Amino acid sequence: MRFDLATIFGLLIGFSFVAMAIAMGGNVMGFLNPPSMLIVLGGTFAITTVSFNMAEVMNSQGVIFRALVYKPLHNKSAEATKMVELSQKSRVSGILNIQEEVEAFKDRFARQGFLLAIDGVNPEAINKILEDDTLSMIDRHNKTISILRRSAELAPAMGLIGTLIGLVQMLGNLADPSAIGPAMAVALLTTLYGAILANMVFTPLAAKLEKNSLSEIQLRRIYTTSVMSVVKQENPRQLEIMLNAILPPTERIKVF
């Protein structure tokens, strides 16, 4: 894993432009309103847990953090090339002779699949295990993406609720001019906070997670196809063709 600079810089630059625009107006502190933050942040989190549950929301935080900070090191073309070379070695020297290389794999999914093949597990059983593992991963990712998209829907709604609260407070204190300003600040700032959270945090992170998930699914397809090819002792040239069918044209490999 390594730092995903695109995500980090994108968020930093986006918030920097907003902060610069606020600073140019001259009243930075006027945009900091604890009641508005409480309504939007607290309300969004609380109602998201109603839509799912506390355990799901808390478990998703780790996935969100990894999407925010890290990106996988895997290069799909390099992995596909490695799979073809491993297949060729297995066909020439025997499947038992690739065990040392397989045990050195950093990817748990690929290591598990090839070790099952080396142990002589039934091909249908191996395929079922790998497919179930992938489906479980997809389910986890989809749940986290759903939580982010739900939060993106709720943040503006909580902003609207805060706006209504501020307007009610303002209208209830028209006789006191000193109370109109703070109430109006709550009314406007909750809408601003909700829009920022939805459009600058939750929605982009959901899109990033969706992209990462699709990339990981594609990598797992490469591993699954390779494991099944090695189990069946298919021609490595055939495996190369099958992997190139999975890879996009710009990332296709040529081993033979």
Residue 20 falls within a domain, yes or no? yes
Residue 81 falls within a domain, yes or no? no
Chain mean position to CA 146: 11
Question: How many domains are contained in the chain?
Answer: 1
What does the alpha-carbon distance between residue 115 and residue 129 come to, in Å, rounded to a whole number? 12
Residue 194 falls within a domain, yes or no? yes
Q: What is the pLDDT of residue 29?
A: 79
Residue 256 falls within a domain, yes or no? no
Residue 221 falls within a domain, yes or no? yes
Residue 173 falls within a domain, yes or no? yes
What does the alpha-carbon distance between residue 250 and residue 53 come to, in Å, rounded to a whole number? 42
Chain mean position to CA 199: 16
Instruction: Give the domain range for residue 229.
Output: 2-75+123-251
Three-state secondary structure call for residue 180: helix
Residue 161 falls within a domain, yes or no? yes
Residue 33 falls within a domain, yes or no? yes
pTM of the model: 0.82
Residues of the chain with pLDDT under 70: 1-3, 26, 67, 69-73, 179, 181-183
Chain mean position to CA 204: 10
Q: Are 164 and 58 in contact (CB under 8 A)?
A: no
